[in-house]
Chains A and B, each alone.
Chain A
Amino acid sequence: MMEEHQIDIKREMIHFLEIIAIPLIICILWQVSTTKGWIKASVLPAPAGVWDSAVSLNEKGLFWLDIGSSLSRILKGFLLGGTIGIIAGSLIGIFPFFDRITKVFVAVFRPIPIISLIPIFILWLGIGEESKIAVITIGTFWATLINTMDGIKSIDRKLVEMAQILGKNKWETIRYIIFPYAFPAIYTGIRIAITASIGYVITAEMIAASAGVGYRIMYARNMAQPGIMFVGIIEIGLFGLLVDLLVLKLQEKLFSYR
Chain B
Amino acid sequence: MILLLFGMETEVKQVEEIELQIKNVCKNFMIDKKKREIIKNIDINVKKGEFVSIVGSSGCGKSTLLRIIAGLETVSSGQVLLEGTEVAGTSPRCKMAFQEARLLPWWSVEKNISFGIGRKVDEEEKDKLVAQYINLVGLNGFEKALPRQLSGGMQQRVSIARALISDPKLLLLDEPFGALDALTKINMQKEVLKIWESEKKTMILVTHDIEEAVYLSDRVIVLSERPGEIKNIINIDIGRPRKRGSHDFSYFTNLIYKEFFTEVEREVEYSI
Contacts and interface: CB of A to CB of B under 8 A. Distances in A.
Interface stretch (A101-109, A163-171, A234-242): A163-171
B148 A166 contact: no
Nearest to B162: A166
B148 A258 contact: yes
B156 to A, nearest CB: 13
B64 to A, nearest CB: 14
A165 B164 CA distance: 12
A257 B163 CA distance: 23
Interface stretch (B95-103, B128-136, B185-193, B232-240): B95-103
A128 interface: no
A158 B99 CA distance: 11
Interface in A140-184: 158-159, 161-162, 164-167, 176-177, 180
Which of B70, B96, B100, B106 has the most CB atoms of chain A within a 10 A radius of its CB? Answer: B106
Contacts of B70: 165
> Chain B at the A interface: mostly helix, strand, loop or mixed?
loop
A159 B166 contact: no
A159 B118 CA distance: 17
B116 A176 contact: no
A258 B104 CA distance: 11
Nearest to B70: A165
Contacts of B178: none
> Which 10 A-B residue pairs are closest in the complex by CB-CB distance?
A162-B102, A257-B106, A165-B96, A180-B106, A257-B146, A167-B118, A257-B105, A158-B102, A166-B116, A167-B92
17 contacts: A158-B98, A162-B98, A162-B102, A165-B72, A165-B95, A166-B162, A166-B166, A167-B166, A176-B115, A177-B104, A180-B104, A180-B106, A257-B106, A257-B107, A257-B146, A257-B148, A258-B105
Given A159-B104, A165-B95, A165-B163, 20 more contacts: A158-B98, A158-B100, A161-B72, A161-B102, A164-B72, A165-B70, A165-B90, A166-B95, A166-B116, A166-B162, A166-B163, A166-B166, A167-B90, A167-B118, A180-B104, A257-B105, A257-B106, A257-B146, A257-B148, A258-B105
